[in-house]
Amino acid sequence: MKDEINQSFAADSRAKAMHWDKGRRTELAIELLPEEPLSIRVQGKPYAVVMRTPGDELAHAAGFCLAEGLIDQPEDMVSLAMCEGDETNVVTVTLSPQRQKQVAGHLDRREYISQTSCGLCGKTLIEELTQVLRPLQDPITIDTTAAEKCLRNLEAFQPLRDRNAASHAAVLFDADLKPLAAMEDVGRHNALDKVVGRLFLDQRLHLAKVLVMSSRISYELVQKAARARIPIILAHSRPTALAVGLARDLNIALASGAKPTGLYLFCHMQRFGG
């Protein structure tokens, strides 16, 4: 099982997809944004795990540490290095003795995502997620023409965006594509948490079958949808490669808007009828 999981989350950013447009389906290969975890270790201990597009890891870690207040100038670090071997998604930061004393309080904090003895690699993250999340067994299918209309009409649920042009939206629909709840927030993850939480508190979350997002689909959004038992996700932007792999294993269908019309269907295409 682990080998199958690891293969589905391969770093290859090319993915097979289906372009649906007015009832016609065309297979194609499409470029997806790579997404992998980066574990930042400070003084030999896990400090944070961030999801990112691979590349420029040392610069990423340095900028992160500056934003966190761990460093004020490059001289505050005596070393900044990538781990070798299997731990290629780990950056180690060693602070100067003087700086260690100045930020001792920061160094006592917990890590953002998870805490492990040797950092976090992509396969570790994948295995942990798959152990926690159960694949969905919901047999639902939806009308693809109506689904595209829900995505194209997302602005109708964004009064904040009308005023500030800056908010993300998450809208949940039932099996008949009738809206159940909509939320906006500066953060796309927050918008999803809010709309799921609203239906959860109202004891109506079981009615939610389709999630429509204003943003791209990252692995975190797939993870949240799986916890809420939502089998279909549509978004304006394409998913990341990691999101497609996770959704495939969790039996969640993913689609994004195509230009000028239509949808790109990435996995579990049988959920889209018509």
8 A C-beta contact, residue 252 and residue 270: no
How far is residue 250 CA from its own chain's centroid? 14
| Residues with active-site annotation | 118
Tally of CB atoms within 10 A around 135: 11
Question: How far, in Å, CA of 103 to CA of 170, rounded?
Answer: 38
217 DSSP β-pair partners: 239
Angle at CA of residue 86, ends 97 and 118, nearest 5°: 45
Exposed e or buried b per residue across 195-224, where buried means at least 16 C-beta atoms within 10 angstroms of its C-beta: bbebbeeeeebebbbbbbbbbbbbbbbbbb
Amino acid at site 15: A
DSSP helix/strand/coil, 41: strand
Sign, Cα dihedral of 223, 187, 9, 258: positive
CA–CA distances in Å: residue 203 to residues 159, 197, 199, 200, 210: 25, 10, 6, 5, 17
Sequence-separated (6 or more) residues with CB below 8 Å from residue 56: none
